[in-house]
Structure 1
Amino acid sequence: MNFPRRKPGRLKNFDYSENGAYFLTLCTKNKRKIFWKENAVYSKERPLACLSDCGLIAETELSRIEKIYSGNIKVSKYVIMPNHIHMIVFISNADDRTEKRIDIFRVIKQFKGSVSKQVGSPIWQKTYFDHVIRNEEDLMEIWRYIDENPLKLKQQFAE
């Protein structure tokens, strides 16, 4: 049987510690819907109200990323969906020494590990999806996508 060939998840020969903006999507293992309370309905006015205990842990750890990487990483936008998280992350490595530079891999590994440890079991897919944000237009399109993602889910349930 021929299975579709999975595309490589990362850009070839790209340095993921390069200063810039990245759009990241982290999914739960087996697409388990563990970040929202059962039957939760998203409200733009109260986005955290729909989060389960696991979702609240993820939210807390997202807010800690900037403290952990003091000045090198900024999480400028995110949304926690029932079975995945979207985020826009800016890297600004002031230090040019390779061993001192923070890269996306390290940030995601730390975040996933910390959330899984607090939840008490591994909850993540092994990989994640990334997109290097190339310009302001790209950034604004992704920003809108993150804003609209929970509202699309809400519409699906209403139909």
Structure 2
Amino acid sequence: MTGHTRRSSPRLPGYDYRQQNYYFVTICTKNHVCRFGAIRNDIICLSDAGAIVTEIWSSLPSVEPDLHLDVWIVMPNHVHGIIVLHDTDEPRAHDLSTIVGRFKATSARAINHRLGREGETVWHRSFYDHIIRNDADLSRIREYVANNPARWETDQFYQ
């Protein structure tokens, strides 16, 4: 016995995250460090790292052609976004975890390269997801994302 416990997956058991749907994701920085900017007058003012995250997030549809980005925002220590996976005639090669994992790896490499900090961990090891089930859920989450900067000071990870 190695003394290590196996971490359970935060994904919904038995659900195929390759299928067409709307997914709300939240991706946090390691230790909730505010790397991506600051909120001033309810507006995010991006740092260099935040600009890199914005650039790489917005390029996801060019890497995954059957993916669409709905509303999203880069906050000081996390990213909220709705990823839409469209129906496709071919079996989808990548599931949501793979897509988010590639985003995290690509953005971390770019941030570390730009800031001269090779190998530094940028992101928390996992991410939060919510499968959007109906139009009311979608509207509520869109509003939540849009209002996130205005609620920053009440955020549990506000620093």
Tell me the TM-score range normalised by the shorter chain: 0.7 to 0.9
What corresponds to 1:10 in structure 2? Answer: 11
Question: Is 1:149 the counterpart of 2:125 in the alignment?
Answer: no
Deviation at 1:92, TM superposition (A): 1.2
Question: Is 1:67 the counterpart of 2:75 in the alignment?
Answer: no
Gaps of 5+ in 1: 1-5
TM (norm. structure 2) is 0.82
What corresponds to 1:125 in structure 2? Answer: 124
2:108 equivalent among 116, 126, 149: 116
Higher helix proportion, which one? 1
TM (norm. structure 1) is 0.82
Residue-by-residue CA offset, 1:25-50 (whole Å, 9 max, x unaligned): 0000011000004xx41555xx5xx0
What corresponds to 1:104 in structure 2? Answer: 96
State the one-letter code of the partner of 1:16: Y
Deviation at 1:67, TM superposition (A): 0.6
Deviation at 1:8, TM superposition (A): 4.5
Residue-by-residue CA offset, 1:60-87 (whole Å, 9 max, x unaligned): 00111011112x1111110111110000
Question: Is 1:33 the counterpart of 2:34 in the alignment?
Answer: yes
Runs of 4+ in 1 over 3 A off after TM superposition: none
Question: Is 1:52 the counterpart of 2:47 in the alignment?
Answer: yes
Question: Is 1:87 the counterpart of 2:78 in the alignment?
Answer: no
In the alignment, the residues of structure 1 paired with residue 85 and residue 150 of structure 2 have an alpha-carbon distance, to the nearest angstrom, of 28
What corresponds to 2:138 in structure 1? Answer: 139
State the one-letter code of the partner of 2:69: V
Residue-by-residue CA offset, 1:103-153 (whole Å, 9 max, x unaligned): 111111110011110111320001000000000000000000001111112
Q: Give me the identity figure in percent.
A: 30
Higher strand proportion, which one? 2
Residues matched between the structures, number: 142
State the one-letter code of the partner of 2:19: E
What corresponds to 1:78 in structure 2? Answer: 72
SS state at 1:25 partner: strand
